[in-house]
Chain A
Amino acid sequence: MTTVLKNVFDRPVSLKDVSTHFCPGCQHGTAHRLCAEAMDSLGVQQRAIGVASVGCSVFLYGYFDIDVVEAPHGRAPAVATGVKRVRKDDFVFTYQGDGDLAAIGTSEIIHAANRGEAISVIFVNNTTYGMTGGQMAPTTLPQQQTSTSPTGRNVASDGYPIRMAELLSGLEGVSYSCRVAVNNPKNIMAAGKAIEKAFRCQVEQGGFGFVEVLTTCPTNWGMNPLKANNRVAEEMIPYFPLGVFKDIAPMGQEV
């Protein structure tokens, strides 16, 4: 009797065979893997250019086996614009955290989106500045304590957390905008599909795709990985609802 062995789980070729520097329970690793799987699935690894941002995600080039340009804090969508306008046939994506994209880089993300640049943006929202040490981010939840909001985020003076996926969906240039989480297998599956869809939107239609990924930061939240993961469902998703906010063909044509 012959046994046929089928490989059902392997490291994506877009990902290097290295261990990450991320803290225990951090979900950057999961988000990285989903991006790599999507690049594999679309067959674009050999023509992929990643644009790294500032923060925990800066070491993109250490984990993805692709060419990478490192951008100043918040400027990844502008750098990616320059890259994509030169390398029109390449696959170009940015991978940015919440301080980077939703605070210092709001101008760059809004205008790259509004121009409908043919790039994909992965936005990792963990409600805090991770690498810098747990300071208040534009996505920090009301009353959430951080190292710069020691008594909790006061919406009266600090404003409310920004819902980027919804905000960008209002722009004509955006083809696809959604929010996903990676806190359980079902959500991870859905997140993978969403990232692939955003990437496909660029590769096949030349559209701007945006995926906000809700993730944990156990270290700066002062929680163990399990509690941190629970917080995603208990506190984050109620404020940052999962879903697709825009899904159209580029330049306003219905799919």
Chain B
Amino acid sequence: MKRLFVKGNEAVAMGALEAGCRYYFGYPITPQSDIPEYISREMPKLGGTFIQAESEIASINMLLGASACGVRAMTSSSSPGISLKQEGISYMAGSELPGLIVNICRSGPGLGGIDASQADYFQSVKGGGHGGYHIIVLAPHTVQEMYDLTMLAFDLADRYRMPAMLLGDAVVGQIKEALVPHPYQQPSDLPTKEWAVSGKQGRSDQRIVKSLFLGDGELEAHNWRLHAKYKQLQDNEVRCETEHVDDADLVVTAFGSAARIVKTAARMAREEGLKVGVIRPITLFPFPIATYQQAAQTVKKMLCVELNAGQMVEDVRLAVNGKVDVAFYGRPPGAGSLPTPEEILVQIKKHCG
């Protein structure tokens, strides 16, 4: 396949179309508008449906309705818009509906700014809406991963019958680099969607997609079933990249675009003879707990770098459970606050000392 020169946001749209998504519902917001712009142009050519909804709330509920019919469907937005979608995401989680939600995160709180940010980590991995649930969260760090993980998100969502989120930011959304597109291959063992509404069409049973459970003990059982799926995800679907962890004194960890900066900084450190490894979670939920636990057996210290004031670092600390010290470096996002590799190198040296 020819290498293309593509913007990250467009790679998401291309991956979604390739994965068979034919329904998109969204509302414009910077810095993700390349996604609806691309899809509004290309999806109708494939017989798909693009709707620019009246709000983020409406678009997530259109996604809920389309997903309830068993098709692959998606929405995309950025932080303030994702906040508005949380109600619908909670209902989708409760109704066990798959579907892709893309968050090209921007800085906050409130209107904040349009700069790259990872401040939606908590909102994404801890169940951003009400009711105590989780969704699958994937964190791409290159344009190629924007494409590949979009496809994976649809597969995981369908396999586990739950919403999946692609969590990017303005760096991976706006950056242009090489993309090798490849044909989508649907896993042969994906379950059929026998729960999807279609009109009874002669069926004796009635199909109901709902999240209300008022019967005695019904809701508790439903919740335990959801949580059993989260356990399955933890057992089977963790994805994580590691570099030079085996002989490292210090492991630096980061996800998404921060991980790119960290990887360059770690390379600079190794060139200076420092034993530095990198752990990059690709799935933020499920979180690569075992990878951190294993690294904690051998490394002296860990350093977590984020484009926020410290969120994932809490999960890293929970994972290593006091076995090693986990330091944090990051700055609340905003114009000019993207850290440079040189800046991270200073931190690495500080913690290697």
Direct contact, A vs B (beta carbon within 8 Å): yes
Chain B residue nearest in CB terms to A76? B61
Closest beta carbon of chain A to B128's beta carbon, Å: 15
Q: Do B199 and A79 touch (CB < 8 A)? A: no
Q: Tell yes or no: B340 within 8 A of A by CB.
A: no
Chain A, 84-118, CB within 8 A of any chain B CB: 84-87, 90-91, 107-108, 110-111, 115
The segment from A59-67, A145-153, A217-225, A233-241 that touches chain B is: A59-67
Q: Do A91 and B54 touch (CB < 8 A)? A: no
The answer, among B25, B62, B202, B212, for a CB contact under 8 Å with A70, is B212
Q: Which residues of A contact B88 (CB under 8 A)?
A: 72, 75
Q: Do A79 and B198 touch (CB < 8 A)? A: no
The answer, among B62, B87, B91, for a CB contact under 8 Å with A81, is B62
Chain A, 14-66, CB within 8 A of any chain B CB: 45-49, 51-52, 58, 61, 65-66
Q: Do B197 and A49 touch (CB < 8 A)? A: yes
Q: Do B69 and A75 touch (CB < 8 A)? A: no
A213 and B25 alpha carbons, distance in the complex (Å): 31
Chain B, 174-225, CB within 8 A of any chain A CB: 197-202, 206-212
Q: Which residues of A contact B67 (CB under 8 A)?
A: 82
Known interface pairs A78-B57, A78-B65. Does A61 touch B23 (Cβ–Cβ under 8 Å)?
Answer: no
Q: Do B23 and A58 touch (CB < 8 A)? A: no
A85 and B67 alpha carbons, distance in the complex (Å): 11
Chain B residue nearest in CB terms to A111? B54
Q: How large is the interface on A (under 10, 10 to 19, 20 to 34, 35 or more residues)?
A: 35 or more
A45 and B201 alpha carbons, distance in the complex (Å): 9
Known interface pairs A78-B58, A79-B64. Does A85 touch B49 (Cβ–Cβ under 8 Å)?
Answer: yes
Chain B interface SS verdict (over half): mixed
Q: Do B66 and A70 touch (CB < 8 A)? A: no
Known interface pairs A49-B199, A67-B197, A72-B88. Does A82 touch B63 (Cβ–Cβ under 8 Å)?
Answer: yes
Residues 87-115 of chain B, each 1 if its beta carbon lies under 8 Å from chain A, else 0: 11001000100000000000000000000
Q: Do B208 and A51 touch (CB < 8 A)? A: no
Q: Which residues of A contact B65 (CB under 8 A)?
A: 51, 69, 71, 78-84, 86
Q: Do A48 and B199 touch (CB < 8 A)? A: yes
The answer, among A46, A49, A51, A111, for a CB contact under 8 Å with B58, is A111
Chain A interface SS verdict (over half): helix
Q: Which residues of B contact A188 (CB under 8 A)?
A: none
Q: Do A70 and B51 touch (CB < 8 A)? A: no
Q: Do A85 and B64 touch (CB < 8 A)? A: no
Which of A65, A75, A86, A87 is most buried by chain B, counting CB atoms within 10 A of its CB? A86
Which of B49, B64, B202, B212 is most buried by chain A, counting CB atoms within 10 A of its CB? B64
Tell me the number of A-to-B contacts counted with CB atoms below 8 Å: 131
Closest beta carbon of chain A to B316's beta carbon, Å: 34
A69 and B199 alpha carbons, distance in the complex (Å): 11
Q: Which residues of B contact A81 (CB under 8 A)?
A: 51, 58, 62, 65
Q: Tell yes or no: A68 within 8 A of B by CB.
A: yes
The answer, among B66, B73, B206, B209, for a CB contact under 8 Å with A65, is B206
Q: Do A86 and B210 touch (CB < 8 A)? A: no
Known interface pairs A46-B199, A70-B95, A72-B88. Does A86 touch B61 (Cβ–Cβ under 8 Å)?
Answer: no
Closest beta carbon of chain B to A96's beta carbon, Å: 13
Which of A47, A49, A66, A78 is most buried by chain B, counting CB atoms within 10 A of its CB? A78
Q: Which residues of B contact A108 (CB under 8 A)?
A: 54, 57-58, 61
Known interface pairs A67-B197, A69-B197, A87-B69. Does A107 touch B55 (Cβ–Cβ under 8 Å)?
Answer: yes
Tally of contact residues, B, Cβ under 8 A: 38
A51 and B54 alpha carbons, distance in the complex (Å): 19
Chain A residue nearest in CB terms to B92? A72
Closest beta carbon of chain A to B76's beta carbon, Å: 15
A84 and B197 alpha carbons, distance in the complex (Å): 11
Q: Do B61 and A70 touch (CB < 8 A)? A: no
Q: Which residues of B contact A90 (CB under 8 A)?
A: 198-199
Q: Do B199 and A78 touch (CB < 8 A)? A: no
Q: Which residues of A contact B211 (CB under 8 A)?
A: 70
Q: Tell yes or no: B309 within 8 A of A by CB.
A: no
Q: Which residues of B contact A58 (CB under 8 A)?
A: 212
Q: Which residues of B contact A68 (CB under 8 A)?
A: 197, 206-210
Q: Do B55 and A86 touch (CB < 8 A)? A: no
A51 and B61 alpha carbons, distance in the complex (Å): 12
Chain B residue nearest in CB terms to A72? B91
Chain B, 141-199, CB within 8 A of any chain A CB: 197-199
Which of A66, A71, A79 is most buried by chain B, counting CB atoms within 10 A of its CB? A79
Q: Do A87 and B57 touch (CB < 8 A)? A: no
Chain B residue nearest in CB terms to A104? B57
Q: Do A67 and B210 touch (CB < 8 A)? A: no
Q: Do B69 and A66 touch (CB < 8 A)? A: no
Q: Do A66 and B206 touch (CB < 8 A)? A: yes
Which of A49, A52, A67, A70 is most buried by chain B, counting CB atoms within 10 A of its CB? A67
Which of B61, B95, B206 is most buried by chain A, counting CB atoms within 10 A of its CB? B61
What are 19 A-B residue pairs whose CB atoms fall within 8 Å in the complex?
A: A47-B201, A61-B208, A67-B199, A68-B206, A69-B64, A70-B209, A70-B211, A71-B61, A71-B91, A78-B53, A82-B61, A82-B68, A85-B23, A85-B49, A86-B69, A86-B73, A87-B198, A87-B199, A90-B198
Residue ranges of A at the interface with B (Cβ–Cβ < 8 Å): 45-49, 51-52, 58, 61, 65-72, 75, 78-87, 90-91, 107-108, 110-111, 115
New A-B pairs, 19, CB < 8 Å, besides A66-B199, A72-B61, A86-B69:
A45-B200, A47-B199, A52-B210, A61-B210, A66-B200, A67-B198, A68-B208, A69-B64, A75-B58, A75-B64, A81-B51, A82-B61, A82-B73, A83-B68, A85-B66, A86-B73, A107-B54, A108-B57, A108-B61
